[in-house]
């Protein structure tokens, strides 16, 4: 029998018991759908994150902060004299970077510049007489790319107090559209920690930033602005509290892997944790990978169950067609061909199951993309919730067809080994 | 030349208490182009003998030669090929695939041989014409009458232009008129194409028309009579 006839015969055999075949295909379909959808979502999110990661820039910047013991403590921690002051004023109850720390960090090799990253506690912002709004802001780190809709990135060397606002703040704050907002003055009010007096600082809007999942949605300001806000907030406090920061941005002389790794290690030994911006964002990838692994596991279980379905279906088929197999063998069909015939039936089940599963997942993905891009992902341009590149779908199909083939080998072997005369005598 | 030659064929089923000898020291020698009838009572071992000489079953002991060569010297592939190329089978039951068309049933041996649909369908129609069923080619095999099914089976047996046709009770379940037609058809194939006929039957009248009759009783050859009467 040639391959075309084998496929046609196998197909005709499957069509003979349509309901049984359909049910088996459905079980494969479920597994294929789960896996393909998981891969689709993962690939959608990852490709967005990776495109964003590529855009973040600042490859040579390490964000440094004191390492936090993350083990869950049993009972209160023992008091240590030299660490005491640093944590006192931290809003996060985390150890802070002090001026001493900055000196220590600076003394390391390969370090060009250390800039504090300031997260001021802004009470509210206001444009002219419009309503007051609560926003968050932080230091702009040199070298970071900001996806601008209008204006320019903050200039850390400028004396002007500059702020770049996320796109979706503009209208709310009453600044008009992105273009119109450039150059407008935004009043930022902070409350002094020592005196509880509010103080207002005027900043110039120099840029508008596109919304992105990774840029935390806050505003960013240049050094002049952030220092002004920090002073306003912490004036009157003792120096060690005033000049303590959650993290510092450490610019390296070199952006190559080796420098980054060796500096990380050196800082690690001093008790600091140092991460590149990519490292920080990469955590999202890790979480996504973990979720993916779990979903794929479910898909794999569905496929395992489906494999037993295939085995069962084909065993029944072999049983029912005992005489037919016997006849074909009597007429000189070889064992190998009989094996191939049944294997093709298994592979066809895998083929139809995986094809329909994948097509369904693409369909669901398209609908989900539509819903998402008109809904919660509205402002994230270029973010497709799911994406189905052929390069990942084809292997899924091939793997499922291979699994189907493996499941089919048991019944196929049984058919191949069947004795022609016994099969012909079979009642 | 001998088409098929067997020496001391023995076939036993079961072990010890249930040991049953279906064939006992059977030696036959069938010449090319010969018409041989195997006759005997039900359960005497006719089908068993036919299956063994057609290489569908293997004997417990004894030798078989096909075309002058011991089958022990054939590979599995060669035996498959031999059955596909040179043998035509008519089994005691029809063994038609009920849901397939008559034509598909008839062309099955050619499909197994890997012959292309166009030429195998053409040959299928020729074979059906030979048995007078050309107009039923597209029908489902299941929809035919018993006699028509038997003719389809014969068309299937001769489609590969075999050298030997093995037929187990080819007229067994047909009325005498249809039986007559089948009989004529087989003899015509023998006469015109020199196809060797090995036919199992319990019909004495039919058996008389063969060159040779091999009588079997309890697995043993009791006597062989020659010459058509
Ligand atoms: N697999 C088997 N196991 C045990 N005994 C068997 C087996 N196959 C056949 N036999 C026995 O061998 C004997 C010969 O069987 P066979 O089918 O050759 O008879 P037959 O001459 O063709 O009879 P009939 O005219 O009824 O078709 C019978 O007694 C049968 O019961
Ligand atoms: Mg019989």
Domain ranges of chain B: 2-95+160-226
A72 has pLDDT over 60 = no
ipTM for the predicted complex:
0.92
The length of chain A, given as a count of residues: 427
* CA A45 to mean position of chain CA atoms: 5
With beta carbons less than 8 A apart as the criterion, state whether A110 and A274 touch: no
Nearest CA to ligand 1 atom 18: B45
Taking an 8 Å cut-off on Cβ atoms, the answer to whether A332 and B113 are in contact is yes
Beta bridge partners of B225: B213
pLDDT value at residue A342: 95
Which of B82, B97, B112 lies at the smallest CB-CB distance from A333?
B112
Beta bridge partners of B61: B10
Mean pLDDT of chain A: 85
The string of pLDDT tens digits covering residues A271-313 is 888 888 777 777 777 888 888 888 889 888 988 988 999 999 9
What does the pLDDT average to over A101-127?
A: 88
Taking an 8 Å cut-off on Cβ atoms, the answer to whether B95 and A337 are in contact is no
Whether residue B47 has its Cβ less than 6 Å from ligand 1 = yes
B166: contact with A, CB 8 A cutoff: no
Residue B1: band (very low, low, confident or very high) from pLDDT cuts 50, 70, 90: confident
Q: Which atom of ligand 1 is nearest to the CA of B200?
A: 22
The string of pLDDT tens digits covering residues B126-145 is 999 988 899 999 999 999 98
A80 has pLDDT over 70 = no
Angle, vertex CA B210, rays to CA B206 and CA B213, nearest 5:
95
pLDDT value at residue A74: 63
Whether residue B177 has its Cβ less than 6 Å from ligand 1 = no
Residue A420: band (very low, low, confident or very high) from pLDDT cuts 50, 70, 90: confident
The string of pLDDT tens digits covering residues B25-42 is 999 999 999 999 999 999
The string of pLDDT tens digits covering residues B101-125 is 999 999 999 999 999 999 999 999 9
A331: contact with B, CB 8 A cutoff: yes
With beta carbons less than 8 A apart as the criterion, state whether B210 and B226 touch: no
A373 has pLDDT over 60 = yes
B224 has pLDDT over 60 = yes
Q: Rounded CA gap, A271 and A261, in Å?
A: 15
With beta carbons less than 8 A apart as the criterion, state whether A203 and A224 touch: no
Whether residue B215 has its Cβ less than 6 Å from ligand 1 = no
Cβ within 8 Å of residue A91, ≥6 positions away: A121
Please give, rounded to a whole number of angstroms, the shortest distance from the CA of B228 to a CA of chain A. 31
Given ligand 1 and candidates B48, B53, B92, B202, which is best to mutate, with the most ligand atoms within 8 Å of its CB? B48
pLDDT value at residue A380: 67
CB pairs under 8 A between A and B: 53
pLDDT value at residue A41: 86
How many CB atoms are closer than 10 A to CB B125?
17
Nearest CA to ligand 1 atom 24: B42
Collapsing DSSP to helix, strand or coil, A270 comes out as coil
- In CATH terms, is domain B2-95+160-226 a member of 3.40.50.300? yes
Q: Phi-psi region for residue B161, left (φ > 0), alpha (ψ -120 to 50) or beta?
A: left
A138 has pLDDT over 80 = yes
Angle, vertex CA A123, rays to CA A117 and CA A129, nearest 5:
120
* CA B47 to mean position of chain CA atoms: 10
What does the pLDDT average to over A342-370?
A: 93
Percent of chain B with pLDDT over 90: 70
Taking an 8 Å cut-off on Cβ atoms, the answer to whether A327 and B77 are in contact is no
pLDDT value at residue A17: 87
Residue A69: band (very low, low, confident or very high) from pLDDT cuts 50, 70, 90: low
* CA B221 to mean position of chain CA atoms: 19
């Amino acid at each position: 029998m040639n391959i075309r006839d084998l496929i046609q015969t196998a197909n005709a055999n499957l069509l003979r018991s349509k309901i049984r075949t359909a049910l088996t295909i459905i079980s494969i379909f479920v597994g294929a759908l789960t896996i393909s959808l998981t891969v689709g979502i993962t690939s959608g999110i990852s490709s967005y994150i990776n495109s964003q990661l590529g855009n973040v820039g600042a490859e040579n910047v390490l964000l440094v902060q004191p390492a936090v013991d993350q083990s869950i403590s049993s009972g209160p921690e023992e008091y240590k004299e030299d660490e005491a002051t640093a944590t006192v004023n931290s809003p996060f109850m985390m150890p802070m970077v002090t001026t001493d720390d900055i000196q220590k960090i600076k003394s390391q090799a390969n370090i060009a510049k250390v800039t504090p990253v300031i997260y001021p506690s802004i009470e509210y912002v206001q444009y002219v007489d419009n309503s007051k709004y609560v926003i968050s802001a932080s230091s702009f780190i040199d070298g970071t790319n900001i996806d601008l809709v209008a204006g320019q990135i903050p200039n850390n060397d400028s004396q002007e107090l500059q702020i770049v606002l996320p796109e979706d703040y503009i209208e709310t704050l009453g600044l008009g559209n992105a273009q119109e907002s450039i150059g407008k003055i935004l009043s930022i009010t902070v409350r002094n920690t020592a005196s509880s007096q509010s103080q207002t600082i005027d900043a110039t809007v120099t840029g508008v930033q596109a919304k992105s999942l990774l840029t935390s949605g806050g505003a960013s300001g240049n050094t002049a602005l952030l220092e002004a806000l920090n002073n306003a907030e912490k004036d009157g406090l003792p120096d060690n509290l005033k000049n303590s920061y959650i993290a510092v941005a450490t610019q390296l002389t070199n952006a190559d892997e080796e420098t980054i790794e060796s500096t990380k290690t050196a800082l690690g030994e001093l008790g600091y944790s140092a991460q590149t911006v990519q490292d920080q964002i990469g955590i999202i990838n890790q979480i996504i990978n973990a979720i993916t692994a779990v979903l794929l596991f479910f898909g794999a279980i569905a496929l395992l169950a489906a494999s037993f379905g295939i085995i069962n279906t084909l065993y029944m088929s072999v049983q029912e067609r005992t005489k037919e197999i016997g006849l074909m063998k009597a007429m000189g069909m070889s064992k190998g061909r009989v094996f191939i015939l049944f294997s093709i039936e298994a592979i066809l089940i895998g083929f139809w199951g995986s094809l329909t599963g994948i097509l369904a997942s693409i369909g669901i993905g398209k609908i989900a993309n539509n819903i998402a891009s008109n809904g919660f992902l509205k402002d994230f341009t270029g973010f497709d919730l799911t994406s189905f590149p052929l390069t990942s779908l084809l292997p899924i199909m091939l793997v499922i067809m291979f699994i189907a083939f493996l499941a089919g080998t048991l019944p196929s072997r049984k058919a191949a080994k069947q004795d022609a005369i016994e099969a012909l005598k079979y009642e | 030349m001998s088409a098929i030659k067997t020496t001391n064929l023995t076939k036993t089923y079961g072990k010890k208490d249930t040991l049953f000898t279906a064939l006992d020291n059977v030696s036959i020698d069938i010449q090319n182009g010969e018409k041989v009838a195997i006759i005997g009572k039900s359960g005497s071992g006719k089908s068993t003998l036919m299956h063994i000489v057609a290489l569908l079953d293997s004997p417990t002991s004894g030798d078989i030669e096909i075309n002058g060569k011991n089958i022990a010297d054939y590979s599995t592939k060669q035996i498959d090929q031999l059955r596909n190329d040179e043998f035509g089978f008519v089994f005691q039951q029809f063994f038609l695939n009920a849901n397939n068309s008559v034509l598909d049933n008839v062309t099955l041996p050619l499909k197994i041989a890997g012959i292309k649909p166009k030429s195998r369908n053409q040959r299928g129609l020729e074979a059906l014409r030979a048995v007078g069923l050309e107009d039923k080619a597209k029908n489902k095999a299941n929809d035919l009458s018993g006699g028509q099914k038997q003719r389809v089976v014969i068309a299937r047996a001769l489609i590969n232009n075999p050298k030997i046709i093995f037929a187990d009770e080819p007229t067994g379940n047909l009325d005498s008129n249809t039986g007559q037609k089948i009989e004529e058809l087989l003899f015509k194939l023998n006469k015109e194409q020199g196809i060797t006929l090995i036919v199992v039957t319990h019909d004495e009248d039919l058996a008389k028309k063969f060159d040779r009759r091999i009588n079997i009783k309890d697995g043993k050859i009791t006597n062989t009579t020659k010459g058509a009467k």
